[in-house]
Amino acid sequence: GQQLNQSPQSMFIQEGEDVSMNCTSSSIFNTWLWYKQDPGEGPVLLIALYKAGELTSNGRLTAQFGITRKDSFLNISASIPSDVGIYFCAGQLNSGYSTLTFGKGTMLLVSP
């Protein structure tokens, strides 16, 4: 089956630093999604990408859909303490009833 490799597994950074995380897949996806999960809550959608090569921003967050359709990255600029959480990538095929395949997540810790 499809697998997503998400890296790094965890990051510990200083407030104000930029952060980059990525996902790679053994097969192609037609949609890439990035979610953030805060402790005790469900994942919340941050950015959705629908076209290969697409670069999309949401405030301090920027994500790109890789040209090969097998990878995606998420950048966070000027990190702040509330960026702390677990970030998940998810890939989706657009054929019929297609489901999400999730990465294992990147835990981000930000030191004030």
Partner 1 sequence: DAGVIQSPRHEVTEMGQEVTLRCKPISGHNSLFWYRQTMMRGLELLIYFNNNVPIDDSGMPEDRFSAKMPNASFSTLKIQPSEPRDSAVYFCASSPRGGAGQPQHFGDGTRLSIL
Residues interacting with partner 1, by CB under 8 A? Answer: 30-31, 33, 35, 40-45, 48, 50, 88, 92-100, 102-105
- Could you write out the three-class secondary structure of 21-56? EEEEECCCCCEEEEEEECCCCCCEEEEEECCCCCEE
Q: How far apart are CA 106 and CA 86, in angstroms?
A: 5
Question: ∠ at Cα 87 (79, 19), nearest 5°?
Answer: 30
* Pair of tokens at residue 63: 């994500």
Closer of 35 and 73 to partner 1 (Cβ): 35
Nearest distance from residue 53's CB to partner 1, in Å?
A: 16
Nearest distance from residue 14's CB to partner 1, in Å?
A: 26
Closer of 8 and 16 to partner 1 (Cβ): 8
Nearest distance from residue 95's CB to partner 1, in Å?
A: 7
Closer of 63 and 79 to partner 1 (Cβ): 63
Closer of 31 and 79 to partner 1 (Cβ): 31
Nearest distance from residue 112's CB to partner 1, in Å?
A: 26
Question: ∠ at Cα 7 (67, 77), nearest 5°?
Answer: 80
